[in-house]
């Protein structure tokens, strides 16, 4: 069950969801199952705080890159909606190629959706095509940095879970 939660967390992170706490729940299950012999309550508290900090870092990196590349505040919301919509559509279309195709389609769709939504939002705000493209790339780069941070954290949690 803990491994299943970790897998769901990895997929959720790739799609832009705050799912590091799912992997942490897997860690809690392991700790409870062995009577807190391997993982103490302090480990659980520390890793919970780590999950919160990781989610905060993801949002901070995204916001920082959006501002650095000149996007408006509304672009953050547009990126999230576009990324989620793109993941659903990309996953559904690529799902015809099976599970691997669906996962890859969802990942590509998430980034394409975020880029497209921010580009559209910035153009709607009367920004030039170059400015809109720059803002959209900033959003994608910020999302990528946040995902990398969260994936590193998830690998650490998963290794800790497997060693327990």
Domain parsing of the chain, residue ranges: 2-163
User: Residue 87 — very low, low, confident or very high, per pLDDT cuts 50/70/90?
Assistant: confident
Instruction: Look over the chain and give the mean of its residue pLDDT values, rounded to a whole number.
Output: 86
d(CA 157, CA 61): 21
**Contact 60/91 with Cβ under 8 angstroms?**
no
**Contact 47/160 with Cβ under 8 angstroms?**
yes
DSSP state of 127: -
Torsion of Cα atoms, 39 then 10 then 119 then 82, to 10° = -100
| Residue 101, pLDDT above cutoff 70 | no
Q: What is the mean pLDDT of residues 54-78?
A: 85
Check residue 126 and give its pLDDT.
Answer: 92
Check residue 10 and give its pLDDT.
Answer: 86
User: Residue 61 — very low, low, confident or very high, per pLDDT cuts 50/70/90?
Assistant: confident
Ramachandran class of 120: left when φ > 0, alpha when ψ lies in -120 to 50, beta otherwise: alpha
pLDDT by residue (tens digit) across 1-25?
A: 777 888 888 888 877 777 888 888 8
Check residue 142 and give its pLDDT.
Answer: 86
Percent of the chain with pLDDT over 90: 27
């Amino acid at each position: 069950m803990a491994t299943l939660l970790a897998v769901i967390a990895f997929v959720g992170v790739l799609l832009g969801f705050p799912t590091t706490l799912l992997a942490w729940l897997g860690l809690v299950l392991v700790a409870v199952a062995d009577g807190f012999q391997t993982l103490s309550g302090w480990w659980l508290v520390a890793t919970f705080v780590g999950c919160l900090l990781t989610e905060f870092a993801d949002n901070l990196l995204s916001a920082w890159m959006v501002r650095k590349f000149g996007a408006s505040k509304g672009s953050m919301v547009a990126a999230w909606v576009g990324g989620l919509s793109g993941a659903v559509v990309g996953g559904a279309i690529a799902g015809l190629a099976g599970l691997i195709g669906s996962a890859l389609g969802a990942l590509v769709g998430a980034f394409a959706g975020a880029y497209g939504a921010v580009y559209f939002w910035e153009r709607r705000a009367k920004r030039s095509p170059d400015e809109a493209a720059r803002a959209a790339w900033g959003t994608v780069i910020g999302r990528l940095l946040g995902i990398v941070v969260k994936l590193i954290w998830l690998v650490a949690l998963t290794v800790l879970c497997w060693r327990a």
